[in-house]
Amino acid sequence: MMKFRFRRQGNDPQREKIKQDLFAFNKTVEHGFPNQPSALAYDPKLQLMAIGTKSGAIKVYGAPGVECTGLHKETATVTQIHFFPGQGRILSLLDDNTLHLWEIGQKEQCSHLEEVRGFTLPGRSGIESTSATRVTVLLPKLSCDLLAVGTEGGGVHFLELPSFTLLDRSLFQDEIMQSVPEEYKCGKSLGPVESLQEHPQHPDKILIGYSRGLVVLWDLQSRHADNVFLGKQQLESLVWVRSGNSFVSSHSDGGYMVWPVSSSTPCTHEPVTCTIPYGPFPCKAVNKILWRTTESGAPLVLFSGGMPRASYGDRHCLTILQDSQHVTLDFTSRVIDFFTIHCIDRDKEFDDPLALVVLLEEELVVIDLQTAGWPTIPAPYLAPLHSSAITCSYHISNVPTKLWDRVISAGQQQCPLQTHTNWPICGGKNLAPSPKQQELLLTGHEDGTVRFWDASGVSLRPLYKLSTANIFQTDCDHNDSLTQAGEEDWPPFRKVGCFDPYSDDPRLGIQKICLCKYSGKLVVAGTAGQVIVLYLCDEKSDHMIDVATVDLLQDREGFTWKGHDRLPPKSGSVLFAPGFQPVVLVQCMPPAAVTAVTLHAEWNLIAFGTSHGFGLFDYHRRSPVLARCTLHPNDSLAMEGPLSRVKSLKKSLRQSFRRIRKSRVSGKKRVMVSSPSSKVQEANAQLAEQDAEVTPVQRRIEPRSADDSLSGVVRCLCFADTFLRDGTHHGPTMWAGTNSGCVYAYALDVPSQEKFSEQSVEALLGKEIQLMHRAPVVSIAVLDGRGNPLPEPYEVSRDLAKAPDMQGSHSVLIASEEQFKVFMLPKVSAKTKFKLTAHEGCRVRKVALVNFSSVASEDYSENGLVCLTNLGDIHVFSIPALRPQVRYDCIRKEDISGIASCVFTKTGQGFYLISPSEYERFSLSARVITKPLCQVDVDRPHDPSELSFCTTVPHQANGTHKAQTTGESKSAGDAEGVFDEISPLSSPPLDSPNSSADITLDTTGELTVEDVKDFLVTVDEAENNLRNMTEEDGRPPGIIIN
């Protein structure tokens, strides 16, 4: 008699409580470098740095682990930001001409950034042009009680702080012109206000610089011009000398001038000195200059720009001058802003700068000014993840201490030019507990490098960089030698920074990574079919690399590779630094991009797959074990390489329309079952019809054609010690899944460790499974007798994990793009399944097996199947029963690159790219959460409650949280009719404004034509998608087959 088991109607309170203790979704922190930075500020008292971006974000950083983020309501560029020193207040100016006041507040004993109010400056009465009141420069006085606002029309307005009350003492050009000699006026306007600087010794005096070149020392108390400096060159910036007896101006002709300030000379016509460092030929403007005095004697002069226009006008440079020392820092991206960390004690006579902090468009560089040679200081955060475009990522949880220390040691030996001075931006306190385990995030890049990052905490810290380009013959070495030989000694350039987006050869790009954390063995695979096996060594080595070629076509006739050539390996021995050193290079032929790779260090085996087939290689004996071609006779597109995707897309579009027509014809012939009135009848109908008929709650899934393009792509590989030949003898196996829904299972004969060198590994095809709808196989995992995932290599032999249950029946979990299915082993009989596409209207993109620990008890945990779909939502299922547990919205469905870049950890966290340079970190576990927990002690003379309601802004700078908040507004009359106040801003339900379209990702294995097909749906399918997204608890239960 057939037994049916139905899911109990309603929710089980006890199970719901367990789920609350296991699962919770949080977007916790953004790792990496802010996308498109636009402004920089520093608080010397609190030792905090703030960065503004073009998407309207403000990010505050202090000591490692101390960070908080705020997001403006408007997606407008932050053009300027200023700290109120010591008060934890930040003033921001957006390109829509609005001012915003932020405060670092306390919430649940942790610091966070919140916006308290905003203002906008309306036009001056009688002047219709809004450009005249456009703010060009802000100067908050050091006393934090007054704000000077310079405008494009040449006016300077004054606001009381922190109330933002406009004072009736605005200064306009006509008042300034009264102090200017007649011969200087010439009927010309002074131009916009370019710079405002407070006198270092007399706080009531400010220096006002106009674009035309005029500089005025203005007394705020007497409203009188003490001194006038008649500059004749277009002004760019001003800076005081610490004593206040002189100041320095920089100009558009590439020069700077030193002007004396004396009460006996109210009108100065000429500066003391005028210098064009890179003249006499025309130079670009010196955008900003700093002048810092030192106890050793000669002042330190730092300025950006000023390069010879004809020869080096395209260079992004910052110059450091001190006496006879002259260094031109040469960056690979544009200089946004810079500041020095120096002595601010007014009792001290000298600045004595400690460090120079330079914000570039693509990275942050810090220079040690106390050490001879001015070396760089390695940054513990804000690392440019995209120094070369990210192509893949790989996460390792619970890294052994031995491996951790060896990787750090290898990384330290790679940076001899870096100083070990403490990080100078060290404000705030990190309240987060020390991580219980070390985590590594590995990123593969377009230039053939693999970078190792410390992902244990809030700060993503670089540890080590591995380069694979040095084992191949490329043109880069020759080009570098020519460039170095051609460069002159003047200007004295020094390459600084690591951002280098240009790849010498796109074939070097890393596509897949696999690391054994116990043996220190690493496998990386690239775009040109190269698979490299590396060992971790503590000493440098000079050795030859063994090269083996594996023909995946197996001499099959009728196929001609039309793509790129293989990368030629170097002949002879190669010198390798301490760290991961290549020992074997396996070259797949044809040299297509590797789409899957896996490693079993105990068996000395690696498996790899491309769009043509898969191979098995014994790296101990340096011998191929197996090569299997997976091409279909009509798979011509697989022979054209990644540059022929236009043809593939056209064919995909044709096939999509054919399926639509086919489904309409077949739909007319089939009689649809009407909805049953009873839920019991509905469940019975589902069970009775199963796959033969379409039930009312399922969408119609058309079987895929066997000759679909790229059907032979190998999507996943795995090793497992399980039962394949019979139910009594277990042994090593290898599993491979393809794009056409085919699964190959091989039984392996692996010799014992004593006989590795004598006997070879043998592989025998044990099973071949063809999924009914031919949906691509995304993942394969073998479960033991208790339904738990099998442990990793070495975990059992080294007593690091509990031995798997080898008494009960094993099962294999096969996840395709459309459904999950569990088969019993060794008979491969179906046990249970869940049709995700039929029930949810989405396709599987990423899958992982995760262990969720309970917050209620350390001893209780559950294994779950985590799935990311093409709609950007995440589902968690129990295993092996495949019961849905929770569902969360995570990524925008339009963000294809973000979905393709997602990687899960084994403890319930995940990472995905929100911009080319930033990872969003999220957590699915209620227990394992990595988020900023920090505290900043501020000294505010005013009570923030006197201002207005404080609106908490989510710390997700890219708008990934969807929290709604409200605030109260204030009438414009409170600002005396000149400033219109904006109500406290709330966090909008925005998605990430950062464009991810230019992220380079693995376009062969991860981002395929199938991703684009998701958007080619009929109107009926779109309505079904919308209905499935809105139905939550009312969704009919899935079918459970015993």
Average pLDDT over residues 357-374: 95
**Which residue carries 């120094």 as its tokens?**
387
Would you mind telling me the total number of residues written for the chain in this entry?
1042
Q: Look at residue 950 and tell me whether its pLDDT is greater than 70.
A: no
With a cut of 60, say whether residue 1010 has pLDDT above it. Answer: no
Work out the average pLDDT over 309-319.
94
- Quick check: helix, strand or coil at residue 297? coil
Report whether pLDDT(247) > 80. Answer: yes
The predicted-structure confidence for 401-426, as pLDDT tens digits, reads as follows 999 999 999 999 987 667 778 899 99
**For 359-373, 459-473, 699-713, 979-993, which range has the lowest pLDDT when averaged over its residues?**
979-993
Task: List the single range of 216-225, 688-697, 775-784 with lowest mean pLDDT.
Answer: 688-697
Q: What angle do CA 295, 298, 304 make, to 5 degrees?
A: 115
User: What token pair was written down for 652?
Assistant: 């995909």
Element holding 763 (H helix, E strand): strand 762-770
**Which of 241-255, 663-677, 728-742, 962-976 bottoms out in mean pLDDT, i.e. has the lowest?**
962-976
pLDDT band at 47; cut points 50, 70, 90: very high
Lowest-pLDDT range of 372-381, 591-600, 753-762, 994-1003: 994-1003
Q: What is the pLDDT of residues 465-513, one digit of tens each?
A: 999 999 999 865 544 443 443 445 788 999 999 888 777 789 999 999 9
| Global pTM value | 0.83
Is residue 692 predicted with pLDDT exceeding 80? no
Question: In this structure, what DSSP letter does residue 299 have?
Answer: P
Residue 1008: pLDDT over 60? no
Position 476 scores a pLDDT of 58
Q: Is residue 651 very low, low, confident or very high in pLDDT (cuts 50, 70, 90)?
A: low
Handedness of CA 272, 274, 275, 280 (dihedral sign): negative
Residue 995 has pLDDT above 80, yes or no: no
pLDDT at 659: 61
Question: Residues 6 or more apart from 418 whose CB is under 8 A from it?
Answer: 375, 376, 377, 378
Instruction: Give me 719's structure tokens.
Output: 């090793």
E strand or H helix that includes residue 1028: helix 1019-1030
Output 281 or 998, whichever has higher pLDDT: 281
The reported pLDDT for the residue numbered 242 is 94
Cα Rg of the chain (Å, integer):
33
Our CA dihedral for 454, 460, 462, 463, rounded to 10 degrees, sits at -10
**DSSP code of 854?**
P
Query: Bridge-partner residues for 326, per DSSP?
Result: 321
Under a CB-based contact definition with an 8 Å cutoff, are residues 971 and 118 in contact? no
pLDDT confidence bin for 666, thresholds 50/70/90: very low
User: What is the per-residue pLDDT for 415?
Assistant: 79
Task: With a cut of 80, say whether residue 278 has pLDDT above it.
Answer: yes
Please list, residue by residue across 751-766, b when 16 or more beta carbons sit within 10 angstroms of its beta carbon and e when fewer do.
beeeebeeebbebeeb
Average of per-residue pLDDT values in the chain: 84
**Of 383, 389, 364, 359, nearest to 459 (Cα)?**
383
Q: Is 544 in contact with 609 (CB distance < 8 Å)?
A: no
Give the pLDDT confidence score for residue 976 in this predicted structure: 35
Question: Would you place residue 961 in the very low, low, confident or very high pLDDT band (cuts 50, 70, 90)?
Answer: very low
User: What's the confidence (pLDDT) of residue 884?
Assistant: 95
At 798, is the pLDDT very low, low, confident or very high (cuts 50, 70, 90)? confident
The three-class DSSP label of residue 652 is helix
| CA pair distance 912, 916, nearest whole angstrom | 10
Percentage of the chain surpassing pLDDT 90? 65
SS3 482: helix
What pLDDT band is residue 661 in, cutting at 50, 70 and 90?
low
Q: Tell whether the torsion through CA atoms of 69, 72, 73 and 78 is positive or negative.
A: negative
pLDDT at site 698: 56
- Residue environment code for 704-724, b if the CB has 16+ CB neighbours within 10 A, otherwise e: beeebbbbbbbbbbbbbbbbb
**Between these two residues, 35 and 647, which has the higher pLDDT value?**
35
